[in-house]
Amino acid sequence: MPEPRPPIVELTLARMREFTREPEAIFWVFVFPLLLALSLGFAFREKPPDKIPIGIVAGPHANERLAALRASPVLLPRIVSEEEGKLALRRGKISLLVTGDATPVYRFDPTRPDARAGRIEADDALQTAAGRKSIFKSTEQHVSERGSRYIDFLVPGLLGMNLMGTGIWGVAFSVVNARMRKLLKRLVATPMRKRDYLLAHIFSRIGFLIIETVALVTFGWLVFDVSVNGSLVTFSILCITGGIAFTGIGILIASRARTIEAVSGMANLIMMPMWICSGVFFSYERFPEPVKPFIRLLPLTALNDALRLVMNDAAPLASISTQLAVLAAWAVLTFLIGLKIFRWQ
């Protein structure tokens, strides 16, 4: 008779079979990230910036200003009444309101980047129409090569977000669901150790991680010409380390939670700050300097930074050692704490 396989192997295979029998899980792990990448990629790839809507208060100089502002390729001006303009500005329908008699007065919210850009562009157009001469003629160079496009920034962020979501949700929901169905209570009577049970979740995640990562990277390469410029070995080490880190967080969340509502709340509480702060859709460099060191310690920030370095800049393994150390620390600490406080019931 062939020797029985080790318990950890059997547990890992059982977890993988359980996952493949859940159509909803397959959709969120494999299909949803591709749909998200497709929609956002087409929304931002080779897309010129939207024109900035501007209101011009009706008056003696309104038509003259309208003609001057229409000459700008980035502005979308229209004449409005003063009350209509104030209301549109308050509701965000326009970014800038031009009023005043002989001298223009600009009303705008200085915290909005589009409003500040609109103010500069509008003032330049009106000054030029009034006869201002430029001292020199400047030229523009538009950057569109691979590695500098928004889609090159977006795809690594989506990959990192997917690894976080599937690592945390997949493990946390699976464990808590088994606890609610009293399956974990039955396992207490077996010689299986909780360490093996939790490690099986990590190993099964690595198996599916490979499939979902290859699917998303291949999709980005075929549809948006976004490829992995760095070493595939370095890229693989990074993805596996990141996946294990988020799986460890999922284990920690599920170690004591008894209900789906509880695990859902804790997962959202942990993931929401990373969705906002970790540079998935925009750079975290916009945040104040005092908070940036804390943002860089978040696992998703470390993963996204390293993914962009490897995919876009072909960074070697040594260049992402700091990010790997952050991910490894999260993986080890969360797994050990989760193992320590884990309960079957």
Q: How many CA atoms lie within 13 A of 142 on its CB side?
A: 5
Three-state SS for 106?
strand
Report the pLDDT value the prediction gives residue 63, as an integer from 0 to 100: 92
Report the pLDDT value the prediction gives residue 44, as an integer from 0 to 100: 61
For residues 53 and 76, is the Cβ–Cβ distance under 8 A?
Answer: yes
Dist CA 16 CA 299 (whole Å): 25
Contacts of 305 (CB under 8 A, 6+ apart): 279, 296, 320, 323
Q: Could you tell me which of 90, 94, 296 has the C-alpha nearest to residue 79?
A: 94
Q: What is the pTM of this model?
A: 0.74
More confident residue, 271 or 10: 271
Report the pLDDT value the prediction gives residue 173, as an integer from 0 to 100: 82
For the chain, give every domain's residue range. 7-44+149-341, 52-129
For residues 118 and 54, is the Cβ–Cβ distance under 8 A?
Answer: yes
Q: Residue 78: exposed, middle, or buried by beta-carbon count in 10 A (0-12, 13-18, 19+)? A: middle
End-to-end CA distance of the chain: 36
Per mean pLDDT, which range of 31-35, 139-143, 190-194 is the poorest? 139-143
Mean pLDDT of 236-247: 93
Is residue 93 scored above 70 in pLDDT?
yes
Tell which phi-psi region holds residue 192, choosing left (phi > 0), alpha (psi between -120 and 50) or beta.
beta
Per mean pLDDT, which range of 89-93, 224-228, 267-271 is the poorest? 224-228
Quickly count helices (H) and strands (E) in the chain. Answer: 14, 4
Mean pLDDT of 297-303: 95
Report the pLDDT value the prediction gives residue 49, as an integer from 0 to 100: 66
Class of domain 52-129: alpha beta
Contacts of 266 (CB under 8 A, 6+ apart): 172, 253, 257
253: Cα separation from own chain's centroid: 21
More confident residue, 46 or 261: 261
